[in-house]
Structure 1
Amino acid sequence: MSHIPSTASSSSNFLAVFNAALETYEKKTKSKLLTHPLAAQLQLCDSPDAILSVLQHLVQQFDQRGSGDSRLRDWLNPTVNILYTFSAVIGSGVALIYSPANVIFAGIGVLLLVAKDVDASHETLIDIFKRMEHFFKRLESYMAVSSTTGMTQVIVEILVEVLGILAIATKEVKERLPKVSEEASWQERYR
């Protein structure tokens, strides 16, 4: 007979896994997502539309060239909706003090903020975000199945991997930037 973990032990396991991913993100990027002002703003968002509004503003700033290239905006809506649904599935079975999807959205926003000043980053970010969108669209099938501990574990692992991808991309972009405190200048960049 297999051992099925209790909801409480599963919840603490999910929290531990996600917290470890946040620590890895911090080590790679030198940024604390949970205390970043953008994360605080996203935690106040209570719908996918509110999150889209914040991220669309960042995308507009990133695409400062005014090229009219909609590829960067096109991935945003489906990605936000799928991640928001993933977070709702996790939230229904796990008592977290923060929304995992909102942490991912903050990671996306931080990447957009730092990449804005790197000319070579536009095409690379479009490629990264389009691949994430295709990946998430393939995973939508998980939402058709009723939530189980196993499914929640899979979703947590997916979000952890996405956070890892964002950490690597953010680190790479930061290495191409002049040394400027991203935390201190985020307000200026977000205008």
Structure 2
Amino acid sequence: MAIVAFSEERFPLRIAFGTSGGPERRTDIVRLSTGFEKRNQRFSRSVRRYDAGSGLKSLADLALVVDFFEAMRGRLTGFRFRDPLDHASARFGMAVSPTDQAIGTGDGETRKFPLVKIYGSGEGAYHRPIEKPVAGSVRIAVGGAETAAGLSIDAVTGVVSFTDPPAVGAAITAGFEFDVPVRFDIDQIAVNIAAFEAGDIPTIPLIEVRP
């Protein structure tokens, strides 16, 4: 069987909903003699880290994760993971709509528009690329009107492609659910059944990757 760098398979949902973790950023801070600070962010994009161990509720869950770990060859193969808190274009607890996120403006020539999720507002807003949308969940609107004609959505890359370029000035918006591309950040899952039954849950770290 061929080994791939990324699998479109999703980490078991029932375990994902109990995991802990979230976005991480790396910022260097130097305090000057004047008392002011100089701050520099190393990464332009945040990196998400999770601990799947906190989602384990039973030995059956543990066995499921071990099986998935073997299928992914440990750290070798990336896979999809559903962030329990941040997995949709809409605000938490709200339904997805085709006008949730602005993904571009028509210029009469451009046909491809990558999905993004925007955090904050104005010039300082963070535009997060969405590269693993959930198939069948993406809704697109052009000029405020939802449409499904003359376009295709790549669930592997997160790119929306139009047969004909949207008209000049037309706002292209999108709503969607999405997964985070991650991999295991360990090469061994050390299991002690007696310790697990006594409440000692193993740490199973996951880290976001660029697919």
Which TM-score tier does this pair reach, normalised by the shorter chain?
A: under 0.3
The normalised TM-score by structure 2 is 0.23
Larger radius of gyration: 2
Could you say which structure has the higher helix fraction? 1
Q: Larger RCO: Structure 1 or Structure 2 (Cα < 8 Å, ≥ 6 residues apart)? A: 1
